Chains A and B, each alone.
Chain A
Amino acid sequence: MSEQGETGEAITILLVEDDAPTCWRLQDALVKGGYEVRSAGTLSEARSALGDGAPRVLLTDLRLPDGHGIELIRETRQRFPDTEIMVISALGDEESVISAITVGATGYLLKDAFPTDIATTVRDLVAGHSPISASIARFIVRRTQGTAQSTAEPPPGPALNTARLTPREIDILWGIAKGFSYAEIASHLGLSKQTVPGHIKNIYRKLEVHTRSEAVFEAVQQGLIKL
């Protein structure tokens, strides 16, 4: 069995992970899931692998021996806008996941996830379903509260611009943070169940900081530039 994209070809994955056992584990799970996997142990290896062509999915650890995964994500995002990017996180901690999201990642993968879950997560992502955990949703909605109050000091952690999130998206995030399933959230908010993943994808897109356009947006928001 092999996973295939819309074109019918096998889905290619570039896996960037420096810890060999973890790398084997993930690779095994993905190959079993039917994906075509290339792996890289360092940032430079990953860059040269990217030079060969765009993968459908980039899976990268953040701490790499010769650099930071964030740089890789940013570069990939700029060069291959169609590539889905997932960050590999040991514990799904908000710091690393959120900072990866702001540079263009649309999902994350836990290192200790069960092999079937690993494949499922990637498949969902390719299908347009970004995964989001309760703690990440919680982190984001806390930030929306923080900006609303605009109080003295910003909460710790990576900078996050939540100004563009709509009230509905924030409601969805609240539901996720409280452990409700997509179906429950959809029925609470009067949505169709199928639209919830799309909303989450939108949330990821909105949290991404596009270096130039985002700066302009910020400036307009703050009244520094008059259009």
Chain B
Amino acid sequence: MSEIAAKAPVKPARRRLLASRLVPYLLLQALIVIATILGLRLLQPSDPDDHAVTAFSLREDGVTRPVTLPHFTASRYSLADPPLYTGTFTFRSGDAASGWSVYLPRFSNAAEVAVNGVVVLDSRRDANANRPDRNTPQIALIPASLLRDGSNEITVRLFVWGPLKGFLDTVYVGPDAALRPAYETRTLLFVTLQVVFSAWQSILAVILAIMWLMRRREPVYGVLAVAMVLGVIQAFMPPPVPPFTVSRLPAVLLASAPIESALIVAFGVLFFGWRWPRYGALLFAPGLIIFVVGLIAGPPLPRILFLVLGVPTVGLSLFLMACVTAAAVIRRQDAASFTIGCAVTIVLTCWIHDMLSVFEIVTNERIFVSRLSYSAMLVAIGAGLTWRFARALNQVDSFAGQLVTRVREAEERLKASFAREEERARAAALANERTRLMRDLHDGLGGQLVSIVALSERGHEGATITDAARAALKDLRLVIDSMDDIGGDLMLALGSWRERATAQLRPHDIALDWRVATPQGLPLHPELRPSHVIQIVRILDEAVTNAVKHAKARHIAVTIETLEGGQGNDQGPYGVISVTDDGCGFALAGNGEAAGASQTTRGLRNMRSRAARCGAVLELSSEGSGTRVRLQLPQVFPDSDAAAG
């Protein structure tokens, strides 16, 4: 209900839109019709009336009667005993200087002209001259020897092949110089122009066919190309003059006009984006019928059929095309539909003009203009399509340009955001590092300096203060060292540590045995941070300090090796650093907090928590013959030292 209610007010609006668009369009078409009619009138070629010969006597079917040209004779299907027009003209020998000619502006279908009984012109020799759809003029020089001073006889034999009526326009006889310009004008208009259009059409047909071949999705180009090819064949294939040697060819050519017109309708429907209806194929039926009949039956049946079926089909197609373009104009209101609409109106007007001429409702010297206007229309459409194609290419270009611009913009935005992100990350890393540095200085150096101060205040012996100060210096070195970029190679940090440890142990006369079990030492850890390095080095320091201070060791060995992790999901190599000494060991917690070394237990707890902070596992074993600290490094160091507590 609501939908219907919603739709209801749309209808008047649509009607208003229809009216507001259709009415101006129809008015425009009416103007075009008037313009076309005026144009046809104005373009009517003028003939040299001074030399007209109009009074003839016609002998037809054994009956002779006087007639005035232009004259229509009855349609006939036999070439035997053609209508014979006989007339006279006056020749004055004084005018003979330039030579005289006889000029036939329009006749159908063929004419044979004789002067004083001698044939001077036979249009049947020129196949194109006899085509009823063209308005080919003929001119012939009259040999001077034929001409007699005074009255001369001229006879015109008019060959007619139905179903059209025979027609003979006014005959002109006079000095060649006076007649030839009129002949040239008609040739230009009705012969040369047609050839030019056809040539043009053939070029466009090739272009459109290529477009269609490259873009099969758009059959519109293919349809138009086929229509144009048909038109070109029809235009350039010379129809044989009866009596035919090959009777099939002209019959087949007759089918071209209705098929072409149907194709044009198909083009219109596809061009304006409608679907081609299934029953639309019916439009091709008349053309195909004429084609088939032309193949089977001899003349004149195909010609009759053409007049009965073909010509109305052309008209119907033109009318349909006019409707299609009108609908397109209402819907789209664009230049293409307007242009095609106007072109169709012109062709339709020309067709009506020709029909009126065929049925003698309007006498206009029987000049047929449909073909000419149709060719012009096709050329216009083809040019339009090519233009549209070029415009589409331009659009693609500009689209590509836009795309490039967009991509560049996006890239710049991305770059900016990346720079921002990087800046942020750098700031965060810097802040982290600062925090760590402050904590490390505070934890190590700060505490040791405080203890130095305390020792000096209590007046302790120099040695103790020296030790504390040395420890402070060592810690400062460690912190500074940890700032260095070692590129994930823990071996580089251990190298520095070995030097310091060796220097530290030398006064105690303890040897530091350095064993690197695997050639590469430890695996590379790109994720290694200074905080990890500090923790590991402090653990090792603590182990060495314990061995020296509490275990009274004589030898300390540091073993570095890389092991392959095979069990479970812990694939990949991991490093192990072991510190072993030959001291007296210490009792581990659990054996009572004994051993009198709460400092040691604190140290051990410290080592464990440091190991946990960098994801390492610390194992301690101590007995009377020595202590072993085994630090198993993780395969991947945790991101932040706070993570593991």
Interface residues of A (CB under 8 A from B): 91-94, 112-114, 116-117, 133-135, 137-138, 142, 176-181, 184
Contacts and interface: CB of A to CB of B under 8 A. Distances in A.
Interface string B456-493: 00000000000000100100110011001111010110
Contacts, number: 59
B612 interface: no
Contacts of A180: 495, 514, 516
11 contacts: A91-B473, A112-B470, A113-B503, A134-B499, A135-B496, A179-B494, A179-B499, A179-B514, A180-B495, A180-B514, A184-B516
Contacts of B489: 178
A88 to B, nearest CB: 15
B566 interface: no
A30 B568 CA distance: 59
B507 interface: yes
Contacts of B491: 177-179
Interface string B507-542: 100000010100001000000000000000000000
B477 A91 contact: yes
A142 B495 contact: no
B219 to A, nearest CB: 58
Nearest to A188: B519
A113 B516 CA distance: 27
Interface centre among A92, A116, A176 (most CB of B within 10 A): A92
B63 to A, nearest CB: 111
Contact of A134 (B487, B496, B506): B496
A112 B473 contact: yes
Interface residues of B, number: 25
A178 B507 contact: no
B497 interface: yes
The 3 closest A-B pairs by CB, nearest first: A179-B495, A134-B495, A179-B498
Given A91-B477, A134-B495, A177-B492, A114 B506 contact: yes
Interface centre among A91, A137, A179, A181 (most CB of B within 10 A): A179
Q: B interface, by DSSP: helix, strand, loop or mixed?
A: helix
Contacts of B477: 91-92
A178 B495 contact: yes
Nearest to A110: B503
A142 B481 CA distance: 15
Given A91-B473, A133-B499, A184-B514, 15 more contacts: A91-B477, A91-B480, A93-B480, A94-B484, A112-B470, A114-B506, A114-B507, A116-B507, A134-B498, A135-B496, A138-B484, A138-B496, A179-B497, A179-B514, A180-B516
Interface string B561-576: 0000000000000000
A138 B641 CA distance: 25
A135 B494 contact: no
B498 A91 contact: no
Nearest to A156: B485
A180 B514 CA distance: 8
A138 B486 contact: yes
A135 B503 contact: no
Interface centre among B477, B480, B495, B506 (most CB of A within 10 A): B495
A92 B492 CA distance: 16
